[in-house]
Chains A and B, each alone.
Chain A
């Protein structure tokens, strides 16, 4: 057999008219389709010929792919009518016929529409599941987290969001194309083949290629662990923090950690995302000593966001109130220079501050009677927040 020349299909597999038009144009130039694999068409060079190519939807399950083949009866009936099976692509079998007198593969457009029924249903199911994960799932399962995820989404995950958005667009294109085609077929119109269909096919394929490219970049970033924030031990962290820590609350002193807590419960995670130039997550369990005497022993949790836009900071503050302050009767305080201040009652008092694009939520507690209370610590938190 002559050597195969591989070329990418310029249309998605479901674009029946675009694919048929392209294959016929290739045959007219002497390139005859022999095989299909992973979005590539394998051609052999021959004499230019008027070959008709037709795509026929498979009857197999949605899991059937390029490896599926038509059954014996289908092949025999097609061969008897002058059509030979060439290869499978996606959910279609590709047939060819070089006999101008042979009947069309499909002579009844309404029956062809019937054959596309399952593909149409699958296409809408993809749109439905895409919409579910893009819109309904977040609404049901992520209340109090959406804005925070949007702000703190690591850059490699932003790629995944982009892939999902393009994927949903591709699914919508597929569903609308098959819906439109079926509607025309049911109206008695045969599929249209020509240069216009080839151009439309290229646009659809471009969108799918973009989806694949972004997905590959995402996987590469995932393996390279680029943009993945990692927790650093607080004792080894030397950069300034834009908020108060236990030492600040004690008014200075030496911070001491239990040996087992040194690298586990004393960490800071710093990340920079597309929507938030700085996101800090701090966990501190320690004692503070002044002149050898313990002055504070307790714990501190801080979530700090510096977002690009104030509307996002407001959303993050709303999320933090809905999630962190859940079930608590938070009290709103009016403090000069701060846009929002919320404080909860109870032994583990929580504080939320927002100023412009910056939001901070704090949980602070002390062990026993040692150290300041949240009321004592509030001015320190506010002062450092304003200075940060």
Chain B
């Protein structure tokens, strides 16, 4: 029985899950995918990679589909897709908030309590894509 889902995903975890959301693959291929998507900015250390794989198997985000010698292939599960989608929504919200904030004129004074003219009242919720 899978253990409790992870509370949040780190950048490394997110990219690994992203790799498996595209196709079934092995750990090394997932690491290559992450490095390629980030232009080499995210290089997954081997211990980080197999800790993530082990954790994802434990919580039921991945399932092992085949073993060929030392190479193991994994596929994302429905729980994994849900976790990936939830994290994606969270990141989109952050980006949308940041873009909305960037569109506001800069005020030199610190924000009063509640955000003032630039706070929650002034910012209409940004519809998520």
Q: Does A147 contact B (CB under 8 A)?
A: no
Main secondary structure of the interface of B (DSSP, over half): helix
A-B residue pairs in contact (CB < 8 Å), sample of 23 = A56-B47, A73-B50, A75-B70, A76-B28, A76-B70, A77-B28, A77-B46, A77-B49, A80-B46, A95-B47, A105-B46, A106-B47, A106-B48, A107-B48, A108-B13, A108-B45, A108-B52, A111-B13, A111-B51, A111-B55, A112-B51, A114-B51, A115-B47
Kindly identify, within residues 40 to 98 of chain B, every residue whose CB is under 8 Å from any CB belonging to chain A: 43-52, 54-55, 69-72
Q: A107 near B44 (CB under 8 angstroms)?
A: yes
- How many residues on the B side are at the interface (Cβ–Cβ under 8 A)? 23
Within 8 A of B (CB), among A69-113: 72-78, 80-81, 83, 95, 103-108, 110-112
B127 to chain A, nearest CB (A): 31
Query: Is A59 an interface position by the 8 A CB rule?
Result: yes
Task: Tell yes or no: A54 within 8 A of B by CB.
Answer: yes
Q: Do the beta carbons of B51 and A73 come within 8 Å of each other? A: no
**Interface set, chain B 1-49, CB cutoff 8 A to A:** 10-13, 27-28, 31, 43-49
- A78 contacts B11, C-beta separation under 8 Å: no
Complex Cα–Cα for A327 and B46 (A): 67
CB distance from A299 to the nearest CB of B (A): 62
Given known contacts A59-B54, A76-B71, A80-B28, A111 and B48 CB-to-CB distance under 8 angstroms: yes
Task: Write out the residue numbers on chain A whose beta carbons fall within 8 Å of the beta carbon of B12.
Answer: 107-108, 111
**Beyond A77-B31, A110-B10: 8 further Cβ-contacts under 8 Å?**
A54-B47, A73-B50, A77-B28, A77-B50, A78-B47, A105-B45, A105-B47, A114-B51
Contacts of A95 in B (CB 8 A): 47
